[in-house]
Chain A
Amino acid sequence: MSRKVLDVKNLQTHFFTDSGEIPAVDNVSFHINEGEVLGVVGESGCGKSVTSLSIMGLVPNPPGKIVGGEILFEAGDGGKMDLTKLSGKQIRAIRGNKLSMIFQEPMTSLDPLYKIGFQITEGLRKHRKLTKKEAHQKAVEMLKIVGIPRAEEIAYEYPHQLSGGMRQRVMIAIAMASDPEILIADEPTTALDVTIQAQILELMKNLNRDKGTAILMITHDLGVVAEICDRVVVMYAGKVVEQGDVRTILKAPKHPYTVGLIRSLPKLSGRDERLYSIPGNVPKPGSVQTGCRFAARCEHVFDRCLTENPELLKIRSGHDCRCFLYDSEGGAPHEPAATASSQKP
């Protein structure tokens, strides 16, 4: 089995607000293998962004705080550390160096007052002590890698002179400049046109293949998952509800929520049918105390779902699901995948 570069164990990130403590990330565990692309999927507010910020140590504090769990990071040189235990200085040495992140909003994620070249190598200059000339060469090299034409000139231009797609390429260049072990991408294509989306995904796929950088892809878009990910973690209301390799999750999802997510994708069958949507809304984090958090929206709900908290069950090797439907040895009494397909809307 390949090496785990990142192993998140029982991560709990809570927000302390006037209306009480909100568990935005509630006992989340997953791992990323070396050179792998892991997708984290879920609706808005399910805790996927907070998970990624927790890994980077960038949860806004106050009000947010990691209250429990471990984030084990294993660098290529064999050093293993728990990112939640590091001091500010220690984590800054890793951030932007072995661990990089790109954000959702390319239009506002670059400092408008500094030249592109400077911004690409700002982190590197600090981590690697580059000279000005080396830094410029590196910036141009990175711009070429991410496919920006006129790299020499662009390095001297400002963010407002670039389009959204170009800026996201620059963001990727910033993140990749230090050859990180892990690249965290928080919905990197959400704000972009569809054609640009495809290009950016292609670029990330190539970087993953050529440099072997592991990618944590945070997204709500199953299309992105199908395009780029090797494995998928599905999150719902701060918890992991299902995880497995991408084929299994997309072709044979087990958790009713995942099933619903996939059913709600538009199909190109051309038939004039209403798009499926999961009834109800994501519960506010912390509002469901007992029982399954998806119970209120689930079409297979039964008594046990409302009184007990389901555990993440192993369906088979590498495929876990948090649902009581699968909580009996030797085959489930209810088969939601089948029921779901028989209940065409």
Chain B
Amino acid sequence: MLIPVLIGMSLITFSIIHLIPGNPAQTILGEQATPAAIEQLEEQLGLNEPYFVQYTEYMAGLLQGDLGNSLRTNAAISAEIWPFLAATIELTFFAMVFAVIVGVNAGIISAWKQNSMFDYTAMLIALIGVSMPIFWLGLMQQWIFAQELGWLPAFGRSNPRDPVETVTHFYLIDTLLSGRPDQFVTSLKHLVLPGIALGTIPMAIIARMTRSSMLEVLRSDYIRTVQAKGINHLSIVYRHGFKNAVIPVLTVVGLQTGTLLGGAILTETIFSWPGIGRYVFEAIGTRDYPVIQSGILVIATMFVFINLIVDLLYSYIDPRIKY
């Protein structure tokens, strides 16, 4: 499943980016460049070859683990992309941890206390959460928590005057590796606002999905059996209730994680987060074909991979599901 999806993906991206008007050689050399210079650069970059040849060469490189070189910086994309990818993964992880913890528990309690004040409030917040434009939420957060209250930083991943010594490019890990707990706290603080802004929609979707799934499960016969055994509420709700309700929730978590990993351009732009979304977005601006191509491929691979993990988790949780 994985391979055909990725091949199809690469074909579609390749076709689309070559359909966009614009010329990378022109962009690199500027408006004033002579046609001869542009032609020479095109030849140098291999852009004058037929599309078919360009695609086959690109795919041949991929098979050897070569994502190609950026037209703009001439650096290997496989090396260049990692810091951006790491930034996105870190942000996504934080956002999803927030979304899952808050969303799942809110959904469970709402279902357990159906039609209570908590239920109504939580579902109202969830409704607002899914409907609110993310850029507006981000700006409001920056205004309240960074501008007015000054509690949290609004931009970037760390203090630019005190750069983090990078090894893995996950700042939470790197700061600990270099023995700088103060920087760890700073990095964590930088994650809070974009993480919450990014996690709000998944949180709301997860809360609603958990609630409806739980409501169905809590009405089932086996829950009554467990009640008849004299088991306490907490164990009924989490061990038997949530475990049975988790499959649709897990599906949503997988899809949302994949989507966030694809780079939330809006959030990354508002919070100046140097993530993969912005990396690819800038490459589109300069018609940096290999970067667009490989960036999207990496995103798609992660998306497929996350959903593969989710599928494997299904069969781990539910003995009736076998592959």
Contact = CB atoms under 8 A, between A and B. Distances in A.
Interface string B294-323: 000000000000000000000001111000
Contact of A110 (B222, B232, B317, B320): B222
A220 to B, nearest CB: 19
A103 B225 contact: yes
B218 to A, nearest CB: 10
Contact of B230 (A111, A126, A160): A126
B235 to A, nearest CB: 8
Interface string A154-166: 0000101000000
Given A112-B318, A158-B319, A95 B225 contact: no
A96 interface: yes
Interface string B238-267: 001001100000000000000000000000
Interface string A137-159: 00000000000000000000010
Contacts of B317: 113
A58 B228 contact: yes
A96 B227 CA distance: 8
A100 B225 CA distance: 10
A86 to B, nearest CB: 12
Nearest to A115: B319
B224 interface: yes
Contact of A109 (B222, B230, B318): B222
A100 B228 CA distance: 7
B236 to A, nearest CB: 10
A97 B231 CA distance: 11
Nearest to A175: B228
Given A95-B229, A122-B229, A127-B230, A109 B319 contact: no
B125 interface: no
B185 interface: no
B319 A160 contact: yes
Contact of B229 (A96, A108, A113, A158): A96
B322 to A, nearest CB: 11
A171 interface: yes
Interface of B: 220-222, 224-232, 240, 243-244, 317-320
16 contacts: A58-B228, A92-B232, A95-B230, A103-B221, A108-B222, A109-B221, A111-B240, A112-B222, A113-B318, A113-B319, A123-B231, A126-B229, A126-B230, A158-B320, A171-B225, A175-B228
